[in-house]
Amino acid sequence: MKKNKALYSDRQVLDYVYFLVSGNVSLVKSNENGENKVIFLLNSGAIINEPLMRKNTSGIECWGFEDAKILRISFKTFDKIMAKDYILTRNCMLFMEKRIRRLYRQLKNSTSTNIEKKLAAKLYRLGTLYGIENVQDKFILINLNLTVTYLAKMLGYQRETVSRSIKLLSEKTIILLKDRKFYIDMEKARQFFKK
């Protein structure tokens, strides 16, 4: 799958369970104004869509964040495999539970906190998933080609608002933007969004 190409769209009838073998994909939901919000950024090893879908209709869109390899298995075949393999079925349920818990956390964070705290929390999360430690200083490189526009879509804010928040977090030395890459001081970020 190529970067910026859709694997499937919202309300599309799907016949397959998709697994991300390599690369990253975004799960995106559009609002009534047609603006996209990134719900999840998935990395290799993830189940992209729900393995147990009601009427096989997607509730979200999937787009390539970067070039990715995807494995697909028909629902019919996957259902037969799950019927014979308890461990696989249990792992699918655990995966879905983890995704639901992440949605709960996103919902909690979307209501009460200010934009700077949301941004710090999101970058902290990306730092835990995609971070590369730098032995020279306390900043961790978020090893993704992130843009301000993409972060705005992740947070559900306008690009300009996120840009101002990035500047504020930079002034507080919580994050560093260097050569179009984001670096984060994980401890400072955690303390900032927890208070």
pLDDT, tens digit (0-9, with 9 covering 90-100), for 44-84: 999 999 877 667 788 899 999 999 999 999 999 999 999 99
DSSP one-letter code for 56: G
CATH entry, 114-194, from 2.160.10.10, 1.25.40.80, 2.40.50.140, 1.10.10.10: 1.10.10.10
Residue 16: predicted pLDDT:
93
Distance between CA atoms of residues 158 and 128, nearest Å? 25
Ranges in the chain annotated CATH 2.60.120.10: 6-111
List of the chain residues with pLDDT < 70: 53-54, 109, 111-113, 135-136
In terms of DSSP bridges, do strands 61-64 and 25-30 run parallel, antiparallel, or are they unpaired?
antiparallel
HSE, CB side, 13 Å, CA atoms: give it for residue 77. Answer: 7
What architecture is the 6-111 domain classified under in CATH? Sandwich (2.60)
**Token pair in block for residue 93:** 């349920």
Provide the angle, in degrees to the nearest 10, between the axes of the packed helices 86-112 and 75-84: 110
Residue 53: predicted pLDDT:
62
DSSP one-letter code for 161: H
CB atoms near residue 172 (< 10 Å): 14
Q: Which residues pair with 65 in a beta bridge?
A: none
Residue 50: predicted pLDDT:
84
Distance between CA atoms of residues 82 and 92, nearest Å? 9
Residue 185: predicted pLDDT:
94
* H or E element at residue 21: strand 16-22
Ranges in the chain annotated CATH 1.10.10.10: 114-194
Distance between CA atoms of residues 132 and 121, nearest Å? 17
Distance between CA atoms of residues 46 and 101, nearest Å? 15
Say whether pTM exceeds 0.85.
no
Residue 56: predicted pLDDT:
77
Outline where DSSP puts E strands in 23-160. 25-30, 36-42, 61-64, 69-74, 131-133, 139-142
